[in-house]
Amino acid sequence: MAFLVAGTLQVASQVADAQESLGRKGKYSVKDPRVALALCSPEVSASTAALLEGVFQTLGFESCWRQEASVQGFRGELTRFREQLDAHGGSVGCAFVALVARPWQLRQSQQLVQELSRCKALWGRPKVFLLLSSAPGAVPEPGAFLASLGELCGRRPHWSLLQLLTEVFSRTAEESAGAAYCPVLRSSLRGALCLGNVEPWGPEPEPGPSAQYDLSGARAALLLAVTQGRLGAQHDVEALGGLCQALGFETTLRTDPTAQTFQEEMAQFRKRLDAHRGPVSCALVALMAHGGPQGQLLGADGQERQLEVLVQELSHCGALRGRPKIFLLQACRGGHRDAGVGPAALPWFRRWLRAPPATPSQADVLHVCTDVQGRSSRGPTPGSPNQADVLMVYAAAEGCVAYRDEKGSDFIQTLVEVLRADPKADLLELMTEVNRQVCELDVLGPDCDDRRKACLEIRSSLRRRLCLQV
């Protein structure tokens, strides 16, 4: 009986922690201890390491470890870090891991992210990864990036980390021959992460108008949707088309494109924008189709088209240089079905405790890459020319299934509801709210009776706030 009571209390404690982790109003509560780890290759300068430790302290991280190791030893060090957190026995408010090495050495960083995501002490808690290049002449320089981040953290403690990074991107992005070099963030956060010494649900002063993209020019949207053999896809097309019209986008819709047509329509869309007589202020592209095992898009003819080829087409649009480019991707990126993570409990225990649903195992991660020479798998290249000012939102995490039923997809339907409810808010924050709602859903796949979870992936190189309605 004592064992049963102890187990019940443990589950109750875990459930309470999970419910508290997002605080109120969709914002993380990070009142528990914050821990930070810096993994630096031997050639990293002492000044860069000192700047990094200063940023940790400014962000309120009480426990900071710095370890020098070869890049091959990073995973082992991260495993020991995870084991220490789990052995501590308590919850952790937030974990921040900085990886500093040569640019070509950090291409497999996703494995390190997955290693920390296994940490039980961090279940439902934000995990931040910062990849910094130690190469001479890196753009942006790691010292400049860290100094800007630290200074902003001190002056704007009420800003969320996504807001801070957007401003840092604006400051550190380099312009060369009209091509913007900009860092990229990848987020599966479910709420605003505010690391300043302020209440996470306190009022936030609005940033000045100068911090926003100017959307006074023309807006254009291209919707490419395969509806054949995709139950509910037509509902997504109708809902998204109505939203684009309400937000003032001149919309072009093409249904059931072949793989070749995907490419041709993107090229024609770019040409129309470049030929537009007046200024073009924003473009939105929605790609809705079946996805291949490596994240490819499948046309109505079953042939594959690489997503990055389509993205690059629009990135070279002269009319959109310095203007926001939005991509919405409703397609599978693999075949993995995520059961989620959470406190183990019998079904009647969970009902009695009113336990929250399981959290997708890929959720609560913020991954910042400043390496202009790095390569991202199946997506925009971080920091490469013409990749600034891009917002991409995937309906599924890398390698996972994107769900859809006869009513449409969870991603598109939730997105339309959230944007219609508050079209004046910052789009990056709205997408985070969409992810929170999608993560709370339990999904039954067509070939599986067990409940599964879905999680969005948001990639941004935006350098200003993006508000689609003034």
The span from the CA of 329 to the CA of 309, in Å, is: 14
The span from the CA of 186 to the CA of 289, in Å, is: 22
The helix/strand/coil state of 174 is: strand
CA dihedral 153, 157, 161, 164 (to 10 degrees): -60
Instruction: Give 306: exposed, middle or buried? Use CB within 10 Å, 0-12, 13-18, 19+.
Output: middle
Residues 6+ apart with CB under 8 A from 27: 160, 191, 192, 193, 194, 200, 201
Please provide residue 174's backbone torsions phi and psi, each rounded to the nearest 5 degrees.
Answer: -100, 140
Q: Are 276 and 347 spatial neighbours (Cβ–Cβ below 8 Å)?
A: no
Alpha helices in 89-179, H assignment, sequence order:
109-117, 142-155, 161-172
Q: Are 212 and 464 spatial neighbours (Cβ–Cβ below 8 Å)?
A: yes
Q: Are 415 and 424 spatial neighbours (Cβ–Cβ below 8 Å)?
A: no
Report the amino acid identity of residue 89.
G
The helix/strand/coil state of 248 is: coil
Q: Are 315 and 267 spatial neighbours (Cβ–Cβ below 8 Å)?
A: no
Q: Among the options 290, 317, 439, 455, which is catalytic?
A: 290
Q: Among the options 332, 369, 439, 455, which is catalytic?
A: 332
Q: What's the chain's length in residues?
A: 470
The span from the CA of 98 to the CA of 64, in Å, is: 11
Find where tokens 């397609």 sit: 331
Q: Are 240 and 250 spatial neighbours (Cβ–Cβ below 8 Å)?
A: no
The helix/strand/coil state of 183 is: coil
Q: Are 382 and 138 spatial neighbours (Cβ–Cβ below 8 Å)?
A: no
CA-nearest of 93, 172, 98, 88 to 128 is 98
Could you confirm whether 194 is annotated as catalytic? no
Strands 127-133 and 94-101: parallel
Q: Given strand 290-291, what is the order of strands in its sheet? A: 290-291, 297-298, 304-305
What are the CB-based long-range contacts (under 8 Å, 24+) for 203-206? 204/158, 204/159, 205/158
The span from the CA of 158 to the CA of 164, in Å, is: 10
Please provide residue 328's backbone torsions phi and psi, each rounded to the nearest 5 degrees.
Answer: -115, 125
Could you confirm whether 290 is annotated as catalytic? yes
Active-site residue set: 290, 332
